[in-house]
A and B are shown apart, each in its own frame.
Chain A
């Protein structure tokens, strides 16, 4: 494998991570940093009323 390919691969992975980060900010995941650790322990995952509504 040549070096050019590896560099391209590393940059591509980095860009993918960056885009993922941008998406997470946009979808409001940094607004309640405390919540997930408690919600994880919830038994009633099927309660559809508490799921975030799909953003239109």
Chain B
């Protein structure tokens, strides 16, 4: 295995792309990486390679694929005669990536300014409209192997940003005032112990009052507003407690000032300041997570390539014929049109690797479409004229034209998005622990204060003194560290989660996950890999041992791959991918013939294709060779049973018997003949992820009930459920019935954590107590989820559960201790002996404890793996799952499970 000099991917030697640029010989995994490397060296930015820290190998984007600029167009602004664009750059892994992107963009002619935010990976680029273009800027980013993603600021985001900034100013002001205030409070404390000149003391008190008022009325304004709302609804939320405690301390101090007693200005200001700090921390973490999620999501199309009508009334027949020949396709006028202006009846062209923009019926062309994202069906669906296509699904290969049937709100996708919005209203919400506690605590404190007042009145104390003793109870009871109890714990937990590859979008996720009782898993793309792979090879005649007649597994795979390399079928791609792990060079194929929907055949020669008559030493096991004037080779046919029958290949009864149970499980069985005789059955299926079994076992060990809900057929779903070790499985679920199934489970009192990846999971993810989306999904899915797995690793789900439970425990302790010190001091206040020192001590002790206790969250176990996608560490997977990954009956060679899992994002272009 070699290692790519650009993206660090490991790959077999025979696929190496070599290049010599600066004297040194470099080796790359694909032409895309070579292109990026050339770009970087030509721009004189080799420093990138010295400074980078890449944890994840591979490219984020295919450098050769053109960028769809449509999604970015609306976010381009005009500033001082320049164009300005904010864009997310996906694939940034280290500071060097930021450096590289800034340099590459800045060196682009016409670009005047380029700056990338290290924290959010958001770039701001400005260019002269005359000398640079939007497309140029975007393809510059793409050509370096990064993926530009549009940053469109929604109204909500803008409001959130403004709020965070507002909070920061209020917090900064409060800190400034509070720190000044502490100076004067310290002087007053010292005066209490050592004596102080009354005039000076009066001065200090006035300054302290002057410093506290803006803290209460300016910095505390959000609490004042919120508690006013809460009181009107007769709800004692945390803000009510804050305002009550701080306001009572302020009023009490003013009263004491007039009477010459002790003042509590520091308590009043500190309560507001600390709670504000907690709020700011929370807002900041939330903003970051939503930025990161926006960066991850795959995009749905925003423009369609509409074929301009040839005549006044284009009839389907003529259009289809005009597209059947390549030459006329090239001349056919297509233009990119925003989706809103596409009308039903319009003809839209879709090229390979593109998402289908709208619902419609295919008019011409042929392709395979991956509909898993909407239907859960793992196998790609063949599309020819007359077939229906759904907007949002992925066209794999082959271009086609379809007639738009539905647009706007009528599309299937819009229906799902509406279902997501409806599910939003039904999402079960649990009140945060701190709010639940204060809801009971506030009335209790008020009752106690009233009782104190009555008690002191009954003892014959003067009315004003009794009243003030009652107020003192409120002052001391307000735990100012309560405002920190949850945010600090959540902040540290969010940090720990991010380090593990989990993006947590809101603060209450940890409490929700910790209380979950059920886990519902999607099948395709979540438990499985979501694309067909060669799972098993059944040899005919069965070979007991290395010796004897028949072919070995490797030979079979190599021969089949030689034929399939020429085809574009997704099943063929699975076989070709499996063959990449075999040693030795590829076999050459000739006289290739494809029968659509049936199979492919070709003549395959020995590796050294230059000398086909060399006797094919590695393949000389059988005498069956087809001969013609060019030399000897093997006639290899790969296809379904009908295809082989057509070629007069005898399919023995044993083969059919072997195939039927596998087909019943939803696998695809491909028959393969060599030299006119059945040689093997190739079983291709959507395989379970390597770590799925472990993850399921871990979740069960954590005491969670498990279920699978899939849009795929019952047999396939049941087979996957059995392999993963899950008993309950619901098949044939539509997006809406998935949500209903979830609601049904929740109706029994369960709290459900749902894991999914497709758009069809989005309503259910929204409905669940906690929705977890797999990384690399679409934007719709990620928006609807509460947690996003940045790394496509299912073991992160049990990790999330463990982290959440630990966090929840710490929050509970924090809330307890935040109250503890203040509650202990209440009797002092009831007795009328309260002193500012006591209040300050309670405040300091509880804050100290809360922060210290929260730090334990981060000090937990280290993240379980570092590198997710390359699978280098998959080698540590237990043998059971590795066998599953190999899944071969006859394979003798060690077939590392990682190779097949490799993402090779840049290989798409091949």
Type the 1/0 row for A20-38, where 1 means its CB is closer than 8 Å to any CB of B. 0110010000111111001
Q: Would you call A50 and B168 a contact (CB within 8 A)? A: no
Q: Would you call B114 and A34 a contact (CB within 8 A)? A: no
Residue B176 contacts which of A18, A31, A42, A56 (CB distance < 8 angstroms)? A18
Q: Would you call A21 and B99 a contact (CB within 8 A)? A: no
Q: Would you call A49 and B180 a contact (CB within 8 A)? A: no
Residue B180 contacts which of A10, A21, A34, A56 (CB distance < 8 angstroms)? A10
Complex formed: what's the CA distance from A53 to B125 in Å? 11
Q: Would you call B113 and A49 a contact (CB within 8 A)? A: yes
Q: What residues of chain A lie closer than 8 Å to B119, measured between beta carbons?
A: 32-35
Q: What residues of chain B lie closer than 8 Å to A51, measured between beta carbons?
A: 113
Which residues of B, 92-137, contact A by the 8 Å Cβ criterion?
95, 98-99, 102-103, 106, 111-115, 117-120, 126
Q: Which residue of A lies closest to B80 (CB)?
A: A56
CB of A25, distance to nearest CB on chain B (Å): 6
CB of B139, distance to nearest CB on chain A (Å): 19
- Given the interface contacts A47-B106, A50-B106, A53-B126, does A22 sit within 8 Å of B172 by beta carbon? yes
Q: Which residue of B lies closest to A15 (CB)?
A: B176
Q: Which residue of B lies closest to A44 (CB)?
A: B103
Q: Would you call B99 and A14 a contact (CB within 8 A)? A: no
Q: What residues of chain B lie closer than 8 Å to A3, measured between beta carbons?
A: 200
CB of A2, distance to nearest CB on chain B (Å): 11
B165 within 8 A of A: yes
Q: What residues of chain B lie closer than 8 Å to A49, measured between beta carbons?
A: 106, 111-114
Q: Would you call B180 and A11 a contact (CB within 8 A)? A: yes
B336 within 8 A of A: no
Q: What residues of chain A lie closer than 8 Å to B115, measured between beta carbons?
A: 50, 52
Q: Would you call B118 and A18 a contact (CB within 8 A)? A: no
Looking at B113, B203, B207, the one whose CB has the most chain A CB atoms below 10 A away is: B113
Number of chain B interface residues as a range:
20 to 34
Q: What residues of chain B lie closer than 8 Å to A1, measured between beta carbons?
A: none
Residue B114 contacts which of A21, A33, A35, A50 (CB distance < 8 angstroms)? A50
Q: Which residue of A lies closest to B210 (CB)?
A: A11
Chain A interface SS verdict (over half): helix
Looking at A22, A33, A49, the one whose CB has the most chain B CB atoms below 10 A away is: A49
CB of B52, distance to nearest CB on chain A (Å): 12
Type the 1/0 row for B537-554, where 1 means its CB is closer than 8 Å to any CB of A. 000000000000000000
Complex formed: what's the CA distance from A45 to B113 in Å? 14
Which residues of B, 285-341, contact A by the 8 Å Cβ criterion?
none
Q: Would you call A53 and B113 a contact (CB within 8 A)? A: yes
CB of B293, distance to nearest CB on chain A (Å): 18
Q: What residues of chain B lie closer than 8 Å to A34, measured between beta carbons?
A: 117-119
B614 within 8 A of A: no
CB of A48, distance to nearest CB on chain B (Å): 9
B173 within 8 A of A: yes
Q: Which residue of B lies closest to A19 (CB)?
A: B176
Complex formed: what's the CA distance from A22 to B172 in Å? 8
Q: Would you call A50 and B113 a contact (CB within 8 A)? A: yes
Residue A14 contacts which of B80, B106, B126, B180 (CB distance < 8 angstroms)? B180
Q: Which residue of A lies closest to B106 (CB)?
A: A49
Q: What residues of chain A lie closer than 8 Å to B180, measured between beta carbons?
A: 10-11, 14
Type the 1/0 row for B217-229, where 1 means its CB is closer than 8 Å to any CB of A. 0000000000000
Type the 1/0 row for B161-186, where 1 means its CB is closer than 8 Å to any CB of A. 00001001100110010011001000
Q: Would you call B183 and A31 a contact (CB within 8 A)? A: no
Q: What residues of chain B lie closer than 8 Å to A32, measured between beta carbons?
A: 117-120
Complex formed: what's the CA distance from A11 to B119 in Å? 35
Q: What residues of chain A lie closer than 8 Å to B113, measured between beta carbons?
A: 49-53
Q: What residues of chain B lie closer than 8 Å to A38, measured between beta carbons?
A: 95, 98-99, 118
Complex formed: what's the CA distance from A51 to B396 in Å? 43
Complex formed: what's the CA distance from A25 to B106 in Å? 27
Q: Which residue of A lies closest to B84 (CB)?
A: A53
CB of B89, distance to nearest CB on chain A (Å): 14
Q: Would you call A18 and B99 a contact (CB within 8 A)? A: no
Complex formed: what's the CA distance from A31 to B114 in Å? 16
Residue B172 contacts which of A7, A25, A52 (CB distance < 8 angstroms)? A25
Complex formed: what's the CA distance from A34 to B176 in Å? 24
Q: What residues of chain A lie closer than 8 Å to B176, measured between beta carbons?
A: 14, 17-18, 21
Q: Would you call A35 and B80 a contact (CB within 8 A)? A: no
Q: Which residue of A lies closest to B115 (CB)?
A: A50
Type the 1/0 row for B199-211, where 1 means its CB is closer than 8 Å to any CB of A. 0100100010000
Q: Which residue of B lies closest to A42 (CB)?
A: B99
Q: What residues of chain A lie closer than 8 Å to B112, measured between beta carbons?
A: 49, 53
Q: Would you call A25 and B169 a contact (CB within 8 A)? A: yes
Complex formed: what's the CA distance from A7 to B117 in Å? 41
Q: Would you call A31 and B172 a contact (CB within 8 A)? A: no
- Given the interface contacts A25-B169, A30-B168, A38-B95, does A10 sit within 8 Å of B183 by beta carbon? yes
Q: What residues of chain B lie closer than 8 Å to A10, measured between beta carbons?
A: 180, 183
Q: Would you call A22 and B106 a contact (CB within 8 A)? A: no
- Given the interface contacts A42-B99, A47-B106, A49-B111, does A21 sit within 8 Å of B172 by beta carbon? yes
Residue A18 contacts which of B80, B173, B207 (CB distance < 8 angstroms)? B173
CB of B94, distance to nearest CB on chain A (Å): 9
Q: Which residue of B lies closest to A22 (CB)?
A: B169
Residue B102 contacts which of A7, A31, A50 (CB distance < 8 angstroms)? A50
CB of B162, distance to nearest CB on chain A (Å): 12
Q: What residues of chain A lie closer than 8 Å to B118, measured between beta carbons?
A: 32, 34-35, 38
CB of A17, distance to nearest CB on chain B (Å): 7
Q: What residues of chain A lie closer than 8 Å to B111, measured between beta carbons?
A: 49
CB of A39, distance to nearest CB on chain B (Å): 8
Q: Which residue of B lies closest to A11 (CB)?
A: B180
Q: Which residue of A lies closest to B105 (CB)?
A: A49
Q: Which residue of B lies closest to A51 (CB)?
A: B113
Q: What residues of chain A lie closer than 8 Å to B172, measured between beta carbons?
A: 18, 21-22, 25
Q: Which residue of A lies closest to B107 (CB)?
A: A49
Complex formed: what's the CA distance from A31 to B124 in Å? 13
CB of B257, distance to nearest CB on chain A (Å): 18
Q: Which residue of B lies closest to A33 (CB)?
A: B119
- Given the interface contacts A18-B172, A32-B119, does A25 sit within 8 Å of B114 by beta carbon? no
Further pairs besides A17-B176, A32-B118: 16, Cβ < 8 Å: A3-B200, A11-B207, A14-B180, A21-B172, A22-B172, A25-B168, A32-B117, A34-B119, A35-B98, A35-B117, A35-B119, A38-B98, A47-B103, A51-B113, A53-B112, A53-B113
**A-B pairs, 9 with minimum CB distance:** A34-B118, A49-B106, A38-B95, A35-B118, A34-B119, A32-B117, A18-B176, A21-B172, A14-B180
